[in-house]
Structure 1
Amino acid sequence: MSFSRALGAAAAALMLAGVFPATGQAVLTTPEVLLLDTYDTRAFRGFAGPVQTTQPLAPGGFYIVTARGTFSRHLKSLMTAPAPDPYTLCGTPKPAPLDPSPGRPDSPAGQDPEYVFAYPIEDKNKKKGYAKICAASPGTLAAFEIDTGLGFSRRPSYDKGTAPRPDHTYSYRIEGANLPASFRYTDSNLADNTGVMTITITPANTTTCGDDPRCLASLASGATPTATPAAGSGAAATNVILPTRSCASRRLFRITLRDRKADPIVAATVRLNGKTVKVLRARVGGRTRRISTVDLRGLPGNRFTVSITAKTRSGKVLRGSRKYFTCKPKLKSGPPKL
């Protein structure tokens, strides 16, 4: 059996083992709305949220995420012209966020999910010409992050344009991996923020796929579920979730594949919940071994499965899996078979 065919067989085995959802298993088919508050009393934790969908996204299915809102990341005094010396206010802020944080006083808003259109800069040298660094065009804001199963990252918006949208709403295509989707807003100090981001997740369709070939292929194959309205109402369901003190994993570790000297591993594929993880070769104990790094940082409490398919020098195909739980004490177990 060729290695490519072995990988196909491994994928089928993972389907049977439940790593991918079987037909009829519940995945997100109803549009869902989440609210992400950019303010948090835990000022220096690094991010607000995360908020998470109530159901996993279909593996290989495509979804459209829209993020709407304006926010303030600075003290009100710094966002009001004239800014106190030695600061200069660049750009033109909105009078207040579109949706202020509950219980927070209004402050001029200078950011949305994609752009910085007003911000204070500090003139440390108190030179009048220093304010010229205020850009004529708005800058990008890499603060809104999405996680579909392999960690938080910045995703490109397909309707971002070159300037802030009038409605401050941006769209993103994401692919499901049999896990809930999570969203967060990063900032070094959350205590001076105000503004709530409205996030909507909906299964993609032929219109929202645009010319994305992978998205269109997922529709043709049936991997992307058909969006259904809320039961009995004909309207989209609304699930409102505000950030809580939920666990965020800090687990980052390396796994070493076990093999035998008599028939060592010559090739291997490692997948974390269906997503391929890079496999490297390294000297371990005087021998060349295959290793992979598993990064679960920032993920909520859940079970994660690492599936391994390996080929030995003699052509034998080995398969194994390891399960890891975030936000739980480490379980006692013996050495893995692979």
Structure 2
Amino acid sequence: MQTFLFTGASGYIGSHTAFWFLTHRQDCQIMIYDNLSTGFRQNYEYIAGIFGDRVRFVYGDVGDIENLSALMERERFSGVVHFAASLIVSESVALPLEYYKNNTLNTTLLIDLCVKHGINTFIFSSTAAVYGEPDMSLVPVSESTPLDPINPYGASKMMSERVLMDTHRAYGQFNYAILRYFNVAGASSANTKEILESAQGLGQRSKNATHLIKVACECACGVRDGMNVFGRDYETKDGTCVRDYIHVDDLASAHLSALTYLEQHNKSEIFNVGYGRGYSVLEVIEMVKRVSGVDFRVVDAARRAGDPAILIADNAKICALTDWKPRFDDLAYIVKSAYEWEKMQRR
């Protein structure tokens, strides 16, 4: 039985990925290591209620080297899936040093521990923010598109990617898969009517939501009295930012496909994970209104610092090299899964 260390997996993407691993890979167990600064213990408890002792939880900070080292010595992990990070673009502009410490420094310390303890498989949560604002001729962006982040969040992830690459070059047995996420949304496809009615299941819990679909669904549920559209003067079809929205379960499955790739090929790779199509802010808001049947208030606001106009993935590489195939590539389904989960949390 293989054991994988999932850092930060009490959060949104990590919890869905842990659930996906445990569902689709019977020969593994997971230890979630999380300080719960942005994660939720109830995500772990829900997963543990289904999978029992195949998933365990340890409270801790990735920057706590002594604690992590002792854990690695005791458990002998087969690999690390690293989610723990700070991820709000506008916050990174205001607090850049916090982002470089938490994202770049702590990731470097974690990689160093992996090398010391002979953990040679590392899957890294990166971001499309490493591309910055690519020239329109380069959209959809491929993994070979030049990296030019325009905010500290993207820069901190780019630096972590470089640490992984250099570590691989120096220690050839150490292999990584870097997954560059595009905009993640939705709630678990495993949520049933009964699960939702009990206000359980997995969805996008957030202490201070900034993601568009999450915020719009909160408006539709009456949690907010309205929402802002940050800028209507971008060079896009309707003047608002365009993003590639991927369902969280498709992103979760990409991690398992990346692990399989590393095991079969013993070769490091970088993969974009998105659908290859984009929707504007206004299109997404309209979809939430249509799915929910609620016409909430939308207010124009100034641009946010660090927001590129368009980010759409070229996903040809992950589709060609791995067994990953998108299953939930439908904006209406993504929004409906998010809205139904959000609605039941408010009952």
Instruction: Give the alignment's TM-score, normalised by structure 1.
Output: 0.21
- Indicate the structure with greater helix content: 2
Structure number with the higher strand fraction is: 1
Point out which structure has higher relative CO (alpha carbons under 8 A, 6+ apart): 1
Bigger Rg over Cα: 1
